[in-house]
Amino acid sequence: MKRTLRFIWLLLLAFAAVALPLSPVIRGAGEDVTTTGGAGYYIRERVAENDLGYLIKHFTDHSTTIRNNAEYLQQVNVLEVPAATPAKIISYANLRNHKWTLTSVRKLAEQFEEENPDWKVIAAVNADFFDINGILNGLPYQTHNPVVTMGEFYKTSVRTNVLGFTNDGSTNTLIAGGKNVRTPNMILAVYDDDDEIIAEFDIEKINAAPGAGETAVFFGYYDDQTQKYLPMEVALDGAEGFFIEDAELALPNNANDFYGKGRITARNPFTLEKGQFAIATKNQEVAALLDVGVKVRAQFEFAGELARVDNATGYQGKFLEGSEFRDSGVSVLAARHPRTAVGVRPDGSIVMAVIDGRQAASGKEGVFGDEMAAIMKKYGCAEAYNLDGGGSSTMIIRKDGELVVVNSPSDGRERSDANCLLIAVRMPEIRMEFSQAEDAITVSAELIAANNHDIQKLYIDFNGELREVGAEEAVFSGLNRDTEYYYAFKYRDSAGILRDLLVDGRIKTLKRPPVIIAFEIYEYEPFFHIILHYDDPDYASRLNRAYITLNGRESLALNGQATFAKTTYGSVIKSLSIRYQVDLNDGEQTVISPVDDYLLKSSAEIEAILVINGKVDALVEEIYR
């Protein structure tokens, strides 16, 4: 009997071992699990939440996904971008020097701000898949799909799918498309002196002579096999030619995908090299508008529903449709990896998510496509699309005036990508002035242009103290000298709500100025030796590398000392001055001042001191001996 009971007990244990998943993560009772496609998702703890301004929120959730009855720890960073925000979603790439350059998301954001100083980046994620090894195209490192940036169609050829953003505040702010999305012909835009487009025409031919009434564009491009640039000979064939020798951008993605923008510099034909393109036309209306000095742009554009978008990137796999998992059959979703996703809610709000992975030991396991669908459903999305993932998955936000990475890239560092999606806003124009003292900062500000901001009153938050600025100056006193303080402008809108402006920075109070105490000049028979005594408690100057001019000739004084040979500088001191750099935190300045008050010690005094010192040294030596 005992043997039979023991046998049954062993069978029960064996059944339990088979039925339960290995090393399960036990879910707490009452968790709100979102499910779709057989996968599930729930949030264990919200560990970070940031109001980024302009109605945009960021948060970090430590959470769990469920797949095939097993649970996986996740870290998910999310951006919520309401349709009503004045901020825009901008697809951006580093295209400097007429090529694609892989760049980290944070560096791309910084470069965008450098090129567009009236814009601020609020947050960003990596975007499209790309030619990571530089081998897929003649011109390497391109994205797989289009890059459209604020109406500039830098690339329009499609490998998988297009994801476009209208930025129009509607519920239809996110538009997806397939491969046949662009206009049949390239479009020629002609600009006036105010940089406004005054006319647009079809470009019927690419690298071929135009026919009657037609216009052509000519450009060199890169060979797909050798990746060498192939210069282009221009065949006018009776057409009028207009040549751009130093284009703002001439980007030959391939033989049938080109973007060119610049001013016409010549009419006579020449072989087109890198950074150059040409327009040839037999259309008299076009020719009448073109001449040397006129700015033009040649690009494909989007047609159909995608004609509404002003920014676009690409995606691989739509995995959520109608708020449920959609199996798109895309192989990249059939494995556990870090992910970057973009989704849209029914009200038009955009949700961007980065799910960390390949770091199971720290609770960042990555997801399959169905798990990602459960995640995006949890955050309210009706549709969602898969962007590039793996080591590329990156999210940055602006926090305390700095762009910081908030997720954990699986490479252990920020990967360089081909493009990103920026959330950016055009700043109002504010004329501001800061006056610094050792213990105070005075701020004056004037609103020049609101740029679609509902600004009723302007404020500055200085070191946690909020003051209105505009009609009167704001004075912040009782500060520490030589100390950096952070400031941020805010505004109150028509509803009386205080909002952030992202116009911020840091400023220092002044250092204490250096004080020259005395010049001691020791005169020897062959030379003068000058010692400079000074007090510089805040290291505001370069008095340790001052230049002393004696009788019109200058010499460097290191650490306050310099020697002047009488044969070169003269045996009598007729004039003496000092030159040095000083920066009190208000900009480096050069100080040049004459020296009228100094103590001259004769050689006799020096010799007496030397004799006395010598005798003392000899006496000490004798004592020790």
pLDDT at 12: 35
Q: pTM for this structure? A: 0.81
| pLDDT tens digits, 517-561 | 999 999 999 999 999 999 999 999 999 999 999 999 999 999 999
Q: Tokens in use for 47?
A: 């560990």
pLDDT at 611: 57
Indicate if 293 and 215 belong to the same structural domain: yes
Indicate if 316 and 168 belong to the same structural domain: yes
With a cut of 50, say whether residue 19 has pLDDT above it: no
* Average pLDDT of every residue of the chain: 92
Indicate if 190 and 291 belong to the same structural domain: yes
Q: What is the total count of domains within the chain? A: 4
Q: Tokens in use for 166?
A: 């209208």
With a cut of 50, say whether residue 16 has pLDDT above it: no
- List own/partner pairs for 20-28 with CB under 8 A and 24 or more apart: 21/69, 21/70, 21/71, 22/70, 24/70, 24/71, 25/64, 25/71, 25/72, 25/73, 27/64, 27/71
Indicate if 464 and 477 belong to the same structural domain: yes
| pLDDT tens digits, 278-296 | 999 999 999 999 999 999 9
| pLDDT tens digits, 246-262 | 999 999 999 999 999 99
Domain that holds residue 225: 186-299
Indicate if 418 and 312 belong to the same structural domain: yes
DSSP state of 471: S
Kindly state the average pLDDT of the residues 196-204. 98
pLDDT at 9: 35
532 vs 31 pLDDT, higher one: 532
pLDDT at 403: 97
78, 83, 86, 90: CA torsion to nearest 10: 60
Strand pairing class (599-601; 515-523): parallel
Which among 425, 443, 474 is the end of a domain? 425
Kindly state the average pLDDT of the residues 593-612. 72
With a cut of 60, say whether residue 149 has pLDDT above it: yes
| pLDDT tens digits, 494-506 | 999 999 888 888 9
With a cut of 50, say whether residue 303 has pLDDT above it: yes
Establish if 58 belongs to a structural domain. Answer: no
Q: Tokens in use for 223?
A: 């060979």
Which among 249, 282, 299 is the end of a domain? 299
With a cut of 90, say whether residue 87 has pLDDT above it: yes
Q: How many residues does the chain have?
A: 625
Min mean pLDDT across 12-16, 210-214, 294-298, 463-467 is at: 12-16
With a cut of 80, say whether residue 171 has pLDDT above it: yes
Establish if 241 belongs to a structural domain. Answer: yes
Q: What is the CATH number of the domain that holds 544?
A: 2.60.40
What's the longest Cα–Cα distance across the chain? 124
Kindly state the average pLDDT of the residues 358-387. 98
Indicate if 89 and 156 belong to the same structural domain: yes
pLDDT at 470: 86
Indicate if 209 and 292 belong to the same structural domain: yes
Kindly provide the b/e burial profile for residues 513-547, where b requires at least 16 CB atoms within 10 angstroms of the residue's own CB: ebebeebbbbbeeebbebbbebebeeebbbbeebb
Which among 375, 403, 425 is the end of a domain? 425
Indicate if 419 and 444 belong to the same structural domain: no
Strand pairing class (515-523; 527-535): antiparallel
Say which residue the tokens 């059939």 belong to: 334
Establish if 48 belongs to a structural domain. Answer: no
Cα–Cα distances in angstroms (integers) from residue 597 to residues 285, 443, 496, 514, 558, in the given order:
80, 40, 63, 17, 21
Indicate if 318 and 419 belong to the same structural domain: yes
Establish if 617 belongs to a structural domain. Answer: no
Indicate if 327 and 414 belong to the same structural domain: yes
